[in-house]
Amino acid sequence: MILVTGGAGFIGANFILDWLAAGNEPVVNLDKLTYAGNLENLRPLQGDARHIFVQADIGDRERVETLLREHRPRAVINFAAESHVDRSIHGPGEFIQTNVVGTFNLLEAVRAHWSQLPADEQAAFRFLHVSTDEVYGSLGPADPAFSETTAYAPNSPYSASKAASDHLVRAYHHTYGLPVLTTNCSNNYGPLQFPEKLIPLIIHNALAGKPLPVYGDGSNVRDWLYVGDHCSAIRRVLEAGRVGDVYNIGGCNEKTNLVVVSTLCAMLDVLHPDSPVIPHGSLIAFVKDRPGHDQRYAIDARKIERELGWTPSETFESGIKKTVAWYLDHQDWVAHVTSGEYRNWVSTNYAGNMT
């Protein structure tokens, strides 16, 4: 049995679906079901006894302690986080509450549980904390990629809150001996991603003939990691990672935002020629850059390849084809998750900034 937090979100849901497709070890899935948590992501597991869903907050220490006592998981994988940079700029308080205070309360509950386990179960137990490359700050065009020893330099309320949670996890290992693992990943994309993130937002707007917002001049660079590859890396770190260590997970696919958007437009021109506006590229609208926008992220993933034998299976070209095909085949899912709250958010974040 494993316990997954944030398992109704984009990466967490993909992880649980992949986990149960690969084996029969049950999963307790704890998720608060905020705007980005969606049980529809887990519809294939409806009625599956291997998946136990619990709606709760990682900050509810008493509830977490009860779950740990009842189910005695051999590992906790922590995906639960507020993760959207733009939202953190508009309202940083929720990010501090979930990513810092919530992680602290989760760690306290896990530490109390772990300390009471028999010696053999203590030795086998793992707490795997899923984090981001954004904690490392911003790179210049010629700077070497982030490694596991790169100094932290977070530039947004989101990345600062994740950096704080990473430090707490590290401290609980060095102070209390809690057997932790930390992963820092690059930008994920793929099925089930909430459509305020770049790739699903562009697909959603393009199909509707709406403007495709691109910050600044579109030159910001990200390393793109297909979510299925991220899930396989986490499984490998959980299986064989060295306790107390950090593993960077990247897709080896650095692309500017404008290249990503233009690639999507060209694909949709071919795959969806009945859209209201063709070519889709004519919808690109440059918007005022967000405050403190990091210029470039890049991941050096040689450690996880060298020590654990993991490398990504998808290129950007193969992963983006799978992603676009999924969204075209699941427009009912997109329609369901693009609620009034989501429309209000897009209006708040982008209205008046189109150029």
Is 158 marked active-site? yes
Active-site residue, from 57, 134, 254, 294:
134
What is the rounded radius of gyration, in angstroms, for the C-alpha atoms of the chain?
A: 20
Q: Is 35 a catalytic residue?
A: no
User: Does residue 133 carry a catalytic annotation?
Assistant: yes
Q: Which of 136, 158, 247, 297 is catalytic?
A: 158
What is d(CA 292, CA 227) in angstroms, rounded to the nearest whole number? 26
User: Are the CB atoms for 276 and 208 separated by under 8 Å?
Assistant: yes
Residues 240 and 21: their CA atoms lie apart, in Å, by 20
Residues 66, 68, 74, CA angle at the centre, nearest 5°?
A: 175
Query: Which residue pairs, CB below 8 angstroms and at least 24 apart, start in 151-155?
Result: 155/292, 155/294
CB-count exposure of residue 125 (10 Å: 0-12, 13-18, 19+): buried
Burial of 189 per CB tally in 10 Å (0-12, 13-18, 19+): buried
Active site positions, annotated? 133-134, 158
